[in-house]
Amino acid sequence: MEEQEYKKTILIVDDEKMIINLLTYNLTREGYNVIEAKDGVEAIHVAQEKKPDLILLDIMLPKMDGLTVCKRIKSIMNVPILMVTAKDEELDKIVGLELGADDYITKPFSVRELLARVKANLRKAEVISNIENETKEVEEEGDVSELKRTNIIKVGVLTLDLDRFEVMVNDKVIDLTLREFEVLKFLASDPGQVITRETLLEKVWGYEYYGDIRTVDVTVRRIREKIEKDTSNPKILITKRGVGYYIAT
C-alpha cells in the first residue's frame, strides 16, 4: 500500500482502444498508475476529479478536440500535457504549443521515446514542486537567504539552473515548458555558436521529428516572447538568417 501512494498517475486521452491498450501496458510496466478518457469532455472531467500527474492527450477526439481540451485544462490546473499528433498535423502541433502544451509526440511513435518524454516531464514537474515547497519552508522559517544552487549556465543576463529547470533573465524567473528549456539549454551551452534548425531537431526533438523545421521556429518564438523585452529586436536569442539560432555573448 505504501508503494502505491508514490506511483505517478498518467491520464491517457484517446478514442483508439489499441493505442490506449498499448500505452497502458507500457506505462504500467514502468510503474505508473494509468487512467483513461475516450473523448474530450470526459478528459476534462477525469482530469479535475482524479488530478493526474501528467496527461497524454490525442488531438483528434470525439465531442471536443484535444487542442480545446488542452486550453481548458491548462486554465484550471498546472499539469504537464503531452500532445499526441499525426505526422501530417503540423499546424495542430504548432497550435498545441501555442496553447501551452508542454511537449508532443508524433504517431506512429516509438514507445521508448514516449516513455522518455513522460519521465522527463514528470521529473521537471516534481523538481519545480520540490523547489516551491523548499522555498515556502525557508520563507516560513524567516530565512531569506537563497537556497544553494549548482550546475549553472550563465550567459550575460541569462541564467539557467540545470538542477531546478529554472531560467532567469536579469534575476527574474521565467516559466518555460520542458521543450523550451531544452532548446535554450542546448543553445546556451555553446554561446555565440550558431546552431542549425536541423541540429536542434536532432538533438532536442529526436530523429522522429526530422524535417519539421517550423516546430523549431515556433518554439524559439515562444521562448523569445518570454525572455526578450522586444521580440522584433532580440538581444538574447538571435537568428542567423538562413542558418539557425544562437545565444548572444
Q: What is the pLDDT of residue 176?
A: 86
| Domains along the chain with CATH numbers | 2-120 (3.40.50.2300), 148-247 (1.10.10.10)
- Residue 142: pLDDT band by 50, 70, 90 thresholds? low
Q: How many helices (H) and strands (E) does the chain have?
A: 9, 12
Q: Once rounded to an integer, what is the mean pLDDT over residues 157-173?
A: 89
d(CA 40, CA 15): 9
- Residue 144: pLDDT band by 50, 70, 90 thresholds? very low
Q: What is the pLDDT of residue 147?
A: 45
What one-character-per-residue DSSP string does 118-156 give?
Answer: HHHHHHHHHHHHHHHHHHHHHHHTT--SPPP--SEEEET
Give tens-digit pLDDT for 108-138: 788 888 898 898 888 877 776 665 565 555 5
Q: What is the pLDDT of residue 107?
A: 78
Q: What is the pLDDT of residue 128?
A: 66
Q: What is the pLDDT of residue 216?
A: 86
Question: How high is the mean pLDDT of the chain?
Answer: 83
Question: How long a stretch of residues is the chain?
Answer: 249
Q: What is the pLDDT of residue 212?
A: 66
pTM score: 0.64
Q: Once rounded to an integer, what is the mean pLDDT over residues 71-88?
A: 84
Q: Once rounded to an integer, what is the mean pLDDT over residues 137-148?
A: 52
Range list of β-strands (E), 127-247: 152-155, 158-161, 166-169, 172-174, 195-196, 237-240, 244-247
Q: Once rounded to an integer, what is the mean pLDDT over residues 62-77?
A: 91
What is the CB neighbour count within 10 angstroms for residue 92?
Answer: 18
Q: What is the pLDDT of residue 93?
A: 65
